Amino acid sequence: MLVQTDVCIVGGGPGGALLGYLLAKRNVSVALVERHARIEKEFRGEHLTADGEEILVRHGLFDKVVAEGLLPMAKVEYWKDGRAMEVLFPDEEAGETHMSIHVPQGNLLGAILREAKRLPSFRLLMNTTAKELLRDSEGRTVGLKASRAGAELTIKCSVVVGADGRYSVIRKLAGIPARIKKHGFDLLWAKVPQPEGWEPVIRNALAGDQPISLFTQAGGFIQIGWNIPEDTYPALRKGPIEPFLEKFIDEYPDLEETVRASIKSWSDFILLKVYSSYSETWVQDGVVIMGDAAHTMSPTGAFGINSALKDADVLAELLLRLDLSEPVEAAKLLPFERERREEIDRFHRLQQEKEAAYASRFR
């Protein structure tokens, strides 16, 4: 099967989905390639900050996401010895009505893709995996080969966008080197039902010298994010879970019942290997990478999703100004990298500073 389009976006995460919508809305023909068959995917960070919210509002998508379901956070708390020692509220004088917002990723993607699918120049290819870049005699990328349910698919286009996440195949196929920086910790995620009367709050505490955070979720759940020293999970898993849970209950005694009822074994946790990545370049003739593919972030501060949305917003504006009737040269894509790299570098530094300063907040 052959598909001809102006822009082929690989990856239907928040970045790729928003980019596809923004381009198709302005009549650019787009094929969005996503390897999963359904949008409800594995466990992800799902908190929108003010930056992400502003982008969705500006593009008329926020109300659509509200209709799918989301939950604004009322406050952020810092806990010690089983009680809140510091509470932060929205800055009402600055017009804030909430802290961050929890949006299940299925709801965010569902809302964006539902709007995109109404547009005649948008084509969504689910269950389709990008495998190989197609290049012309001058070495410019002019499309890709993908597989869909065992069948080969060729997509010809003027630019391939790698929005395919932290393990980006497009970045690897393009031969763009990326430096990895470890942060000294990994993260265990778990999800437990909220007890009766639970408020929409983000809580932070320290168990020993490791942060444990709680993120209230839409739909009646609490997401637990628990830092553990890097690479220690295999050894931890060999021991009993009970002493580990005791540490949690010492910090958050009001959650003892729900935690004991929901976390019975190590299999109730999901491990996230934490690192950030720094790609040598984000552009090449006929290729641009964005979001986690270009700059994986650590989970600290929920910069990942929000940065991917911002990349999409900026890249869409640039692509709309370019001639997409032929392969787009790297030099023409470079303004996107120039505009976004500075902020991403700043966020990467900010994450490291926040991580280093976290423990001092509890002294």
Q: Residue 190 carries which side chain, given as an amino acid letter? A: A
Binders of ligand FAD in range 119-138 (CB under 6 A): 129-130
Per CB under 6 A, which region of 13-21, 246-254, 280-288, 352-360 contacts ligand FAD? 13-21
Among 7, 8, 9, 15, binds ligand FAD (CB under 6 A): 15
Q: Does 19 bind ligand FAD (CB under 6 A)?
A: no
CB neighbour list of residue 169: distance below 8 Å, 6 or more residues apart: 10, 130, 131, 162
Q: Does 45 bind ligand FAD (CB under 6 A)?
A: yes
Q: Alpha helix (H) ranges present in 1-49?
A: 14-25
Q: Is 302 left (phi over 0), alpha (psi -120 to 50) or beta?
A: left
Q: Does 330 bind ligand FAD (CB under 6 A)?
A: no
Instruction: Decide: residue 303, CB within 10 A, 0-12 exposed, 13-18 middle, 19+ buried.
Output: buried
Q: Residue 292 carries which side chain, given as an amino acid letter? A: D
Q: Does 143 bind ligand FAD (CB under 6 A)?
A: no
**41/361 with CB nearer ligand FAD:** 41
**138/301 with CB nearer ligand FAD:** 301
The distance of closest approach from Cβ of residue 68 to ligand FAD in the complex, given in angstroms and rounded to an integer, is 17
Dihedral angle, C-alpha 95, 97, 99, 100, nearest 10 °: -100
The distance of closest approach from Cβ of residue 223 to ligand FAD in the complex, given in angstroms and rounded to an integer, is 8
Per CB under 6 A, which region of 24-32, 276-284, 289-297, 324-332 contacts ligand FAD? 289-297
Q: Which residues pair with 185 in a beta bridge?
A: 229
Q: How far is CA 104 from the centre of its chain?
A: 11
Between β-strands 185-193 and 75-80, what pairing exists: parallel, antiparallel or unpaired?
unpaired
Q: Is 199 helix (H, G, I), strand (E, B) or coil?
A: coil
Among 3, 14, 221, 227, binds ligand FAD (CB under 6 A): 14
Please give the Cα distance from 105 to 261 (Å, whole number): 25
Which structure tokens are listed for 74?
Answer: 């009322």
Which structure tokens are listed for 36?
Answer: 């999963």
Q: Identify whether the C-beta of residue 162 lies closer than 8 Å to the C-beta of residue 170.
A: yes
Q: Does 44 bind ligand FAD (CB under 6 A)?
A: yes
Q: Does 110 bind ligand FAD (CB under 6 A)?
A: no
Per CB under 6 A, which region of 38-46, 58-66, 148-156, 230-238 contacts ligand FAD? 38-46
Angle made by CA atoms 58, 314, 122, in degrees to the nearest 5: 75
Q: Does 211 bind ligand FAD (CB under 6 A)?
A: no
Q: Does 305 bind ligand FAD (CB under 6 A)?
A: yes
**127/232 with CB nearer ligand FAD:** 127
Which structure tokens are listed for 16?
Answer: 């790729």
Per CB under 6 A, which region of 75-83, 251-259, 302-310, 339-347 contacts ligand FAD? 302-310
Q: Does 172 bind ligand FAD (CB under 6 A)?
A: no
**42/93 with CB nearer ligand FAD:** 42
Q: Identify whether the C-beta of residue 204 lies closer than 8 Å to the C-beta of residue 355.
A: no
**268/329 with CB nearer ligand FAD:** 268
Among 5, 29, 35, 48, binds ligand FAD (CB under 6 A): 35
Q: Does 111 bind ligand FAD (CB under 6 A)?
A: no
The distance of closest approach from Cβ of residue 74 to ligand FAD in the complex, given in angstroms and rounded to an integer, is 19
Among 119, 259, 274, 302, binds ligand FAD (CB under 6 A): 302
Q: Does 33 bind ligand FAD (CB under 6 A)?
A: yes
Sheet strands side by side (includes 47-48): 47-48, 101-102, 71-72
Dihedral angle, C-alpha 311, 316, 321, 326, nearest 10 °: 100
What does residue 32 show for φ and ψ, rounded to 5 degrees? -105, 115
Q: Identify whether the C-beta of residue 33 lies closer than 8 Å to the C-beta of residue 125.
A: yes
Task: Count interface residues toward ligand FAD (CB under 6 A).
Answer: 31
Q: Which residues bind ligand FAD (CB under 6 A)?
A: 10-16, 33-36, 41, 43-45, 129-130, 163-165, 169, 272, 291-292, 297, 299, 302-305, 308
